[in-house]
Amino acid sequence: MEDYSKLPNISSQGSWNVSTTKHGYGIENLHDNSTETFWQSDGQQPHSISVQFPTRAQIYAVSLYLDTEKDESYTPCKVTIYAGTGRHDMQFVKDQLFATEPKGWVDFKLTDIDGPVLMAHFVLIELPYNYDNGRDVRVRLARVLGPPLREQKFRNELILPYTSKEFYMYESLR
């Protein structure tokens, strides 16, 4: 089992949005480091959390703090993650249907063991279903994690120091 607590938390580098919010249970609760507060949606499913980064970010994993004991039917039982440069070109990255009821941090590794780190401007975390057919969803904490620091250093050393407009125009394939 991988220790996600040692990965760099890059959540503060992005701008966070949610599909809907119940009054008093806003998005700020996703980042207050308290498992006693939560974001709660208010409306039709699927509910979603999105993160927009100003530049392409190296994304290793997404983690959500869920608690079925406290939230019961408000707890999502399926999570689907998409990524891209924006909402217009999102690609499916991962989905997970929980075999057991979650309590605590649930980590979604977005890269293969030997594969490249996911590079994206935009991440969408979709919460389409809840336990016991609940309508609204609660997430107590959320974070986006970068790759291990040793891997970041290695990847940064491989990048050539070009700064021309032509280089940036052709640096990646879309």
* pTM for the full predicted model: 0.82
Give the pLDDT band (50/70/90) at residue 174.
Answer: low
Question: What pLDDT is stored for residue 70 in this prediction?
Answer: 95
Lowest mean pLDDT among 7-11, 32-36, 67-71, 156-160: 156-160
List the one residue out of 14, 78, 76 whose CA is nearest residue 40: 76
Q: What is the pLDDT of residues 16-60, one digit of tens each?
A: 999 999 999 999 999 999 999 999 999 888 999 999 999 999 999
Give the pLDDT band (50/70/90) at residue 148.
Answer: confident
Indicate whether 65 pLDDT > 60. yes
List the one residue out of 140, 142, 152, 51 whose CA is nearest residue 111: 152
